[in-house]
Structure 1
Amino acid sequence: MRSYKATMVEPVRLLDRADREAALREAGFNVFNLDSSDVFVDLLTDSGTGTMSNEQWAAMFTGDEAYAGSESFRELEAAVRDVMGFERIVPAHQGRGAENVLYGALVTEGDVVLNNAHFDTTRAHVAANGGDPVDCPVPEARDGDSDHPFKGNFDVETGRRVVEEVGAENVPAVVLTITNNSMAGQPVSVANTREVAAFADDIDATFVVDACRFAENAYFVQRREDEFAGESVAAVAREQLSYADACVMSGKKDGLVNAGGFVGLRGEDAAGRGPSGNPTQSDDDLYERCRQRGILFEGFSTYGGMSGRDLAAFAVGLREAVEPPYVAERVAQVEALCDALADRGVPVYQPAGGHAVYVNANEALPHLPREQFPGQALVCELYREGGVRAVELGRFAFPDTDRADLVRLAVPRRTYGPDHLEHVADTAAAVCEKGEEVTGYEVVSEPPMPELRHFSAELRPVDENAHAPSQ
């Protein structure tokens, strides 16, 4: 039973099939272009789509809207320090704003940035600054049936081989994304975090944690890593983040708000404990470079593109994210959706991640070659069949990688109930039953930056007669 009750509701409706067909066609067969009013269950993303608590709404009424020196900023600063252990923050309007601030300060032409797996905007920001984003997932990450408890881990041996090829002087940053969104939302162990921190220290690189889902990751560590079996989620989160030199945070995930983000950096006198448990010196120059970029791109250093109301709600949300009832129920809901899909024969990546379930479109639609984007075909059919909006994270979203064609069903926090998720499972099962009736797609227009293709590209069915408007 959930530990909360609803105090506000929003009506939703399922359009009839003909209207869904028309909406999808008008959107260029790209569900990013759909109006939200045309979507019945929206699992496009868990970023900024969750439901805030009454405590967060109450905090919004006390938001300090001062341009400089906002008390709401001080509240967020204190929450970050208490929950995540970073003494200084550079605020931003959301996570990709924070990425622009940090990677713009770290990456220059010809650099290589290593990550357990770059997500779309991270990859784009590295590339936009002239860098080469290189993924270093562990081999188990590519096996959707493996029972490895931490398939989100960073493969340090792969990282070392890359460094040998390009030279340590060309690797300014090593990034660990927790949980690993591009690899099916799989968690990262604290042991691996320590190993990556030591690797980054060896090559004199800044160790960055992409902490968007740090609380969900800490919950998995508590459940799966023996060293932390008796620890609280809050304690695990602080321990895991303590090894990082910096973090990038989107408050729209485990900050439980609809807007906001920040770069977290260490204080003037001491940073984290470093890979061997020893104090490390902070990079004051990096902080100052980030602060100036923040002022240029996001806003002054005590609001960073957020209103005082947003800052106040963010401060409360960070503290709520590590509370045991919330995070346990959050992960359990995602696991329940994964089980419901698997029970209906839908090929899902297992075990479930913390924020989403990933369907393997290559297995669901084996008749479609990869060049016809089976993942995007599955996304279109989910909407056409049941008004469910998901997102493709395979060849369409990541054209220059060899990732499987996964479709992510990202569950908004504290928003949908069991009946909504049952509808999603029934819809996916109905799509899989169609088999070879499902046609593939081809791209007809796309933006010049391939890392951002899936946000705005338009497609058409390979079979021109498929889904043609009725006469």
Structure 2
Amino acid sequence: MDKYIAEPFKIKVVEPIKITTLEEREKLIKEANYNLFNLNSEDCYIDLLTDSGTGAMSQLQWAHIMQADESYAGSKSYNRLIDKAQEIFGYDYIQPVHQGRAAEKVLFPVLLKKGKVAISNTFFDTTRAHVELTDARAIDCIHPSTKKIQENTKFKGNMNTEELENMIKHYQASNVGCVVMTITNNSAGGQPVSISNIQETSNICKKYNIPFVLDAARYAENAYFIKRDEPKYKDFSIPEIVKEMFSYADMFIMSAKKDGIVNIGGLLGVRTAENNAELIEQIKSQTISYEGFISYGGLSGRDLEALSVGIESSLDINYLTYRVGQLEYVAKLLDEAGIAYQSPVGGHGIFIDAKAMFPHIPYHEFPAQVLAIELYKEAGIRTCDIGSYMLGNDPDTGEQIESEFEFTRLAIPRMVYTKAHLDVVVQALININKRANKIERGYRITWEPKVLRHFQAKLEPINE
């Protein structure tokens, strides 16, 4: 059965894209030091580097942009956003910031410091980095099902709650600065988290008096999977599910560039203001220092307006069915071709198992980066590594960490690419898979920064 759901929208504006030759792409990726982030977007035919800020905004969002209030303090656009966010998420205090890592930068220094740990179902790269920038340590608590890549199990993004409680006892509750639940779980393959698991995690945090934080960039996609796959919630609306998901946490951070369907923006929320006055004052102080005044948080009034519309637009069930349907269409074709990926597909991307495609390439030669580079050379498709290359070095020993997964992530921008584009992506993967055993070696890093190296590192192929 073809699971592709027809687009619930019409195309009003188009952007031409350039088609390059193999010879041009080989030259371009070499000049980029084999780092996909160093490529110019105009040299990428299909850009699946990220779904963050790369979606297409609606006519309603563009209309709201024209009525933006650009006042420095207390603008109408700010008030509209706060009212809408409080309505959707049910939190008393909402702080806009310019993107997700800004929310991390504002919140984590309030909760964490040297000697503390933060525990997550899986930290994504920037979240892990901002934990480590406070001199705390980031600990992953991966659910066992997540590691069974080709096993079609629901809610692989869940927290391993038994292990969570063991970790809290090991590190001592007073040393656990916070527990972070990432929904959906990006590093684990865009996998969703069930409400029952969120609630169980919340109960553990309450038991030990530990702040519970949602990293909620893809809250709408996670709610869709709950409605579809958690029987108790099949008759709930998406807004009802979102409200319940958020009710179990104390705080949330969000890159709104994902399910907020905007090109820039983020949110930070505190659920109960009356019990968190000191925390909120610290958040305000951090925001003013790093993001500008609290009523714009590094954003223009135009951005605030687009975000106030976007956080609600993503709750539409027809849009979400189409969004996940795109990925299920690709998954069906990959199954037919025998190409392994984190199964079932998540909400925002296909995570190809590069370790399965290149079993002869060791983790320290970065098989997921190998596949990302081959996809660019094959068809001008830009993707990224979610594996050992992205994970980086141990902050204490400086040694390369071996990731649990070697995924090449194909992150699908929202409402940008068609079924024909997805067919090109699948055919490129099939072509690479046919010659995978001829790609004998991976890459070495010739230079890297100390933090978030994959954005800037330089690599070279290993030929000897």
Q: TM-score range by the shorter chain?
A: over 0.9
Question: AA paired with 1:239?
Answer: E
Report SS of the residue matched to 1:179: coil
**Aligned partner (choices 378, 381, 396) of residue 389 of structure 2:** 396
Asked whether 1:460 is paired with 2:460, we answer: yes
In structure 1, the residue matched to 2:163 is: 158
Q: What is the distance in 1 between the residues matched to 2:76 and 2:417? A: 33
The CA deviation string for residues 334-356 of structure 1, in whole angstroms up to 9 with x for no partner, is 22122222222221111000100
Asked whether 1:426 is paired with 2:431, we answer: no
The correspondence of residues 118-267 of structure 1 with structure 2, limited to 5 A, is 118-267=123-272
Question: AA paired with 1:409?
Answer: L
The correspondence of residues 439-454 of structure 1 with structure 2, limited to 5 A, is 439-449=441-451, 452-454=452-454
Q: What is the distance in 1 between the residues matched to 2:436 and 2:129? A: 35
Q: What is the distance in 1 between the residues matched to 2:133 and 2:104? A: 11
Q: What is the distance in 2 between the residues matched to 1:37 and 1:359? A: 25
The correspondence of residues 26-425 of structure 1 with structure 2, limited to 5 A, is 26-269=31-274, 282-399=275-392, 400-425=401-426
The CA deviation string for residues 265-297 of structure 1, in whole angstroms up to 9 with x for no partner, is 12434xxxxxxxxxxxx3221111111101100
> For the aligned residues, what is the CA RMSD?
1.0
Question: AA paired with 2:253?
Answer: V
- Contact kept? 1:93, 1:260, Cα under 8 Å: yes
Structure 2 residue runs without a partner (length 5+): 1-5, 393-400
- Contact kept? 2:364, 2:402, Cα under 8 Å: no
Q: What is the distance in 2 between the residues matched to 1:416 and 1:38? A: 16
Q: What is the distance in 2 between the residues matched to 1:87 and 1:323? A: 24
TM-score for the superposition, normalised by structure 1: 0.94
- Contact kept? 1:91, 1:304, Cα under 8 Å: yes
In structure 1, the residue matched to 2:16 is: 11
TM-score for the superposition, normalised by structure 2: 0.95
- Contact kept? 2:273, 2:280, Cα under 8 Å: no
Which stretch shows the higher mean deviation, 256-265 or 160-169? 160-169
Please list every run of at least 4 consecutive aligned residues from structure 1 whose deviation after the TM superposition is greater than 6 angstroms. Answer: none
In structure 1, the residue matched to 2:3 is: none
Q: What is the distance in 1 between the residues matched to 2:64 and 2:404? A: 42
In structure 1, the residue matched to 2:395 is: none
Q: What is the distance in 1 between the residues matched to 2:278 and 2:75? A: 24
Report SS of the residue matched to 1:114: strand
In structure 2, the residue matched to 1:24 is: 29
Question: AA paired with 2:348?
Answer: H
Q: What is the distance in 1 between the residues matched to 2:70 and 2:22? A: 46
- Contact kept? 1:93, 1:261, Cα under 8 Å: yes
Q: What is the distance in 1 between the residues matched to 2:347 and 2:184? A: 7
Q: What is the distance in 2 between the residues matched to 1:319 and 1:192? A: 25
Q: What is the distance in 2 between the residues matched to 1:316 and 1:340? A: 34
In structure 1, the residue matched to 2:396 is: none
Which stretch shows the higher mean deviation, 331-340 or 166-175? 331-340
Sequence identity (%): 40
**How many pairs were matched up?**
450
Structure 1 residue runs without a partner (length 5+): 270-281, 465-471
Question: AA paired with 1:96?
Answer: R
